[in-house]
């Protein structure tokens, strides 16, 4: 089922492609619908119906069946991707104190937001926002969920166990870093995202176990690289692409175990 969903996200979902996917995955199409955003037809597979049946919640002994989607798979993916923000930071007042906090929620969000330390502390009691199960019906289920979502204080940023990293998001176990996102176990890093177990990186992305690098992408086990991409185990080089175990090289690509190349 995961493989079928992958296809449905990245291919144009015309009828020919959808029927081919249905045959290849042995997943019959049970219905065609029109996307309310794009106005284009998209299929509902039997696998989609089965998943909705499994995910339908049971509240107070009553099962609330989930409706079939009204958006195409691609539009649903766009909606999921636009729901969470961790690359932009804002200042606002915390919901549980008067201090200014750094958060991922911008001015357009009117619900309460609290700081990481407050959210994980005993300052708030989650039961204060509880809803009586007996008052929930199929008609007001989504309305009740949205009411809870907009009234319960939300976690302002996804961070944890950092030291001197006030302006980071989706980041943990890092030290002395500024504006890094979706990163862990980093030290002295700036303006980067998706970096892991690295030190002194600036303007890098998707790098792991690297040190002293500037503007590099998809590099691993690198040291002192500048403007490099898709490199593994390289060091003290500039402008490399798709190189492995190379050092002291400049303007090279597709090299393995080389040194002092230009």
In a domain, 260, yes or no: no
Residue 18: what pLDDT?
87
Claim to verify: residue 187 and residue 248 sit in the same structural domain: yes
Are 118 and 180 contained in the same domain?
no
pLDDT tens per residue across span 168-212: 999 999 999 999 999 999 999 999 999 999 999 999 999 999 999
On whether residue 259 sits in a domain, the answer given is: no
The verdict on 190 and 172 lying in the same domain is: yes
Asked whether 172 and 184 are in contact (CB, 8 A), the reply is yes
Residue 236 has pLDDT above 70, yes or no: yes
Residue 245 domain flag: yes
Same domain, 172 and 241: yes
What pLDDT was estimated at residue 132? Answer: 84
User: 143 with 79, same domain?
Assistant: no
Is it the case that residue 247 has pLDDT exceeding 90? yes
- Are 149 and 170 in a shared domain? no
Say if residue 25's pLDDT is above 50: yes
Number of structural domains in the chain: 3
Go through 34-63 and write b for each residue having 16 or more CB atoms within 10 A of its CB, e for each that does not: ebeeeeeebbebebbeeeeeeeeeeeeeee
Q: Are residues 76 and 138 in the same domain?
A: no
Calculate the average pLDDT of the chain.
89
Whether 117 and 55 share a structural domain? no
pLDDT band at 5 (very low <50, low <70, confident <90, very high): very low
261: in domain: no
Is residue 13 scored above 80 in pLDDT?
Answer: no
Q: Does some domain include residue 31?
A: yes
Residue at 117 is within a domain = yes
Residue 7 scores a pLDDT above 50 = no
Three-state secondary structure readout of 191-222: EEEEEEEEEEEECCEEEECCEEEECCECCECC
User: Which of 157, 182, 213 lies at the terminal end of a domain, its last residue?
Assistant: 157
What tokens were used for 13? 């979902």
| 127 within a domain of the structure (yes/no) | yes
Residues 127 and 189 in one domain: no
**Average pLDDT for residues 78-90, to the nearest whole number?**
84
Same domain for 120 and 48, yes or no, is no
On whether both 77 and 133 belong to a single domain, the answer is no
Residues 223 and 235: their CA atoms lie apart, in Å, by 5
Domain stops at, among 55, 83, 111: 83
Tell me if 102 is assigned to some domain.
yes
Highest mean pLDDT among 44-58, 67-81, 99-113, 242-256: 242-256
| pLDDT score of 11 more than 80 | no
Ramachandran area for residue 181 (φ above 0: left; ψ -120 to 50: alpha; else beta): beta
Cα dihedral value 136, 137, 143, 147, nearest 10: 0
pTM over 0.75: no
Percent of the chain with pLDDT over 90: 58
State the residue range of the domain holding 225: 165-253
pLDDT at 45 over 90: yes
The verdict on 174 and 126 lying in the same domain is no
**Final residue of a structural domain among 83, 114, 137:** 83
Does an H or E element contain 23, and which? helix 15-25
């Amino acid at each position: 089922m995961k493989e079928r969903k992958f296809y449905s996200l990245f291919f144009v979902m015309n009828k020919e492609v959808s029927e081919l996917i249905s045959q290849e995955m042995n997943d019959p199409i049970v219905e065609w619908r029109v996307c309310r955003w794009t106005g284009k037809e998209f299929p509902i597979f039997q696998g989609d119906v089965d998943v909705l049946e499994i995910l339908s919640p049971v509240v107070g002994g009553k099962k609330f069946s989930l409706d079939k989607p009204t958006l195409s798979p691609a539009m649903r993916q766009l909606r999921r991707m636009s729901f969470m923000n961790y690359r932009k930071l804002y200042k606002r007042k915390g919901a549980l104190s008067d201090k200014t906090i750094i958060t991922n929620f911008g001015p357009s969000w009117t619900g309460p937001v609290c700081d990481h330390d407050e959210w994980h502390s005993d300052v708030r009691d989650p039961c204060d926002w509880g809803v009586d199960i007996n008052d929930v019906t199929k008609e007001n289920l989504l309305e009740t969920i949205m009411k809870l979502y907009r009234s319960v204080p939300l976690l302002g940023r996804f961070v944890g166990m950092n030291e001197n990293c006030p302006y980071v998001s989706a980041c943990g176990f890092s030290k002395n870093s500024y504006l890094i996102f979706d990163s862990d176990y980093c030290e002295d890093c700036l303006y980067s995202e998706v970096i892991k177990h690295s030190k002194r990186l600036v303007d890098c992305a998707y790098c792991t176990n690297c040190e002293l690098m500037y503007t590099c992408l998809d590099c691993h086990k690198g040291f002192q690289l500048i403007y490099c991409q898709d490199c593994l185990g390289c060091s003290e080089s500039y402008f490399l692409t798709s190189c492995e175990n190379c050092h002291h090289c400049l303007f090279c690509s597709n090299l393995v175990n080389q040194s002092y190349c230009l």
